[in-house]
Structure 1
Amino acid sequence: MRYALLAPIFLSLVIAVQTSVIKAWPWPWIVGARSNRIAVCDYNAPKRGLLRKREAAIADYARIILEQRDVQAAFDKYIPGEYIQHSSFFSRSGREHSIEVLIPFYTDPGLSWSNLRTFASGDGNGVFHYKLNTNGGREKGGETYAVIDIFRFKGTCIVEHWDAVQQIFGNETNPIAFF
Structure 2
Amino acid sequence: MKMRVPTLAVAVAAIASFSDHLAMAHPTTPQPSTCSTNHPTPPWIQQKIFEDFLQKFYIKKDAKAAIQQTMAEEYIQHNPYALSGRQNAIDYIGPISEVANFTILRHSFSNGTGWVHTKMEIPGQPLTAVMDIFRFKGTCIVEHWDVATALPADAVNPLALF
TM-score, length of structure 1 as denominator length: 0.65
Asked if 1:62 is matched to 2:45, the reply is no
Alpha-carbon offset, residue 153 of structure 1: 0.7
Specify the SS of the correspondent of 1:143: coil
How far apart are the structure 1 equivalents of 2:121 and 2:43?
A: 31
Asked if 1:72 is matched to 2:64, the reply is yes
Specify the SS of the correspondent of 2:65: helix
From 33, 36, 41, the counterpart of 2:35: 41
- 2:69 alignment partner AA: K
Q: For the aligned residues, what is the CA RMSD?
A: 2.5
Structure 1 residues 116 and 45: CA distance shift in structure 2, 3 A:
farther
Percent identical across equivalent pairs?
35
1:27-176 to 2 correspondence within 5 Å?
37=22, 39=25, 40-47=34-41, 50-90=42-82, 92-108=83-99, 111-122=100-111, 124-135=112-123, 142-169=125-152, 171-176=154-159
Is the Cα–Cα contact under 8 Å of residues 58 and 118 in structure 1 kept in the other structure?
no
- Unaligned segments of structure 2, at least 5 residues: 1-14, 26-33
Structure 1 residues 96 and 85: CA distance shift in structure 2, 3 A:
same
- 1:144 alignment partner AA: L
TM-score, length of structure 2 as denominator length: 0.71
- Unaligned segments of structure 1, at least 5 residues: 1-24, 29-35, 136-140
Tell me how many residue pairs correspond in the alignment.
Answer: 136
Specify the SS of the correspondent of 1:162: strand
- 2:71 alignment partner AA: I
